[in-house]
Amino acid sequence: MYQTMEGSARPHRTAEFAAEETQESAPATQAELLRALQSASDNIMRLAGKLRAERNPAAEDAASITEQHALAQRLIGRLLALPAQS
User: What tens digit of pLDDT does each residue of 31-69 get?
Assistant: 999 999 999 999 999 999 988 888 887 889 889 999 999
Q: Which is higher by pLDDT, 42 or 6?
A: 42
Q: Which is higher by pLDDT, 5 or 40?
A: 40
Residue type (1 letter), 15: A
Domain ranges for the chain, please list them: 28-81
pTM (predicted TM-score): 0.64
Cα separation, 54 vs 52, in Å, equals 6
What is the pLDDT of the chain when averaged over all its residues? Answer: 78
Q: How far is CA 59 from CA 56, 63, 78, in A?
A: 9, 6, 29
pLDDT at position 20 is 53
DSSP reduced 3-state for 56:
coil
Q: Containing H/E element for 15?
A: helix 12-23
